[in-house]
Amino acid sequence: MREFNLLGDYPEPKKPRYVNQNLRTIDNRIIASYRSKEFFDGNRNNGYGGMVYDGRWKNIAKRICEKYEIKNNSKILQINCEKGFLLNDLQELNPKIKIYGLESSKYAIDNALPSVKKFINYSDKINLEFEDNFFDFVIAIGTVYSLNLSDAIKCLKEIQRVSKGKSFITLGAYENEKDKKLFSYWTLLGSTILKKSEWLKVLKHSGFTGDYKFNTATSLNLIENTHMCLKYEE
């Protein structure tokens, strides 16, 4: 188990993300919770604000293959793969990789890239219907901390069970109350946001041996703006 930033080549926001308690309301969070059209391709305060393939995952796909020694016939699972952008780039990099995608949003599956749509199946994030040690690598971005603590533990145990020990996850975390507040203003689906030290205890309890990255107010470049009204800007 190690802290590792697999997403180091993913484009980071160049400008600060200004947030406050009025940025994303309960109405925004209700809409986002359905993970339907409004979340993926609607208003930015409800989700992605338009999820369009632009090749930004290509470098991440390359890093996965290098860091986790992915070879011909290696099996890779992405949990909550959304529209399949990363899966597409993995397959383009090596067509002999066996890719599997799980997604809980029917909208995302219906609007997935045609190149990988047949590899994506509808599933929740907790019960993975695969044999033990089936995958050479499992990746779950923004998945674990979107669950309540009990389900997060179940998800971690399932990732550990179906993988051969190589996996990567992201976790919503903070180190002080200010960071916790900023993250709570920003996140739409984050349900379990813990101190880094608390997450380490959860990972140990779950028997998780893969890699992890903490998403924090600092890594997301979040800065508080005290204006009453604020709309999201990259």
- Give which of 19, 101, 106 is closest to 57, Cα–Cα: 101
Q: How confident is the model at residue 229 (pLDDT cuts 50, 70, 90)?
A: low
Of 234, 229, 233, give the one whose Cα is nearest residue 25. 229
Q: What is the mean pLDDT of residues 122-131?
A: 91
Share of the chain above pLDDT 90, in %: 90
Among residues of the chain, what percentage have pLDDT more than 70? Answer: 97
- Contacts of residue 88, Cβ cutoff 8 Å, sequence gap at least 6: 53, 57, 113, 115, 116
Structural domains of the chain, ranges and CATH numbers in brackets: 2-224 (3.40.50.150)
Mean local confidence (pLDDT), 7-15? 85
Nearest-angstrom CA–CA distance, 91 and 100: 11
Q: Which residue has the higher pLDDT, 70 or 234?
A: 70
List strand residue ranges (DSSP E) for 83-165, in order: 98-103, 120-122, 137-140
For residue 15, the model assigns a pLDDT of 87
Report the pLDDT averaged over residues 37-52. 96
Contact by Cβ (8 Å): 127, 158: yes
Phi, psi of 8 (to 5 degrees): -60, -25
> Using one digit for the tens of pLDDT, what is the confidence trace for 187-210?
999 999 999 999 999 999 999 999
95 has a pLDDT exceeding 80: yes
Model confidence, pTM: 0.95
pLDDT at 64: 98
Q: Give yes or no for residue 230 having a pLDDT over 90.
A: no
pLDDT greater than 60 at residue 77: yes
Which CA distances in Å does 157 have to 45, 110, 213? 32, 29, 17
Q: By C-alpha distance, which of 31, 5, 8 is closest to 171?
A: 5
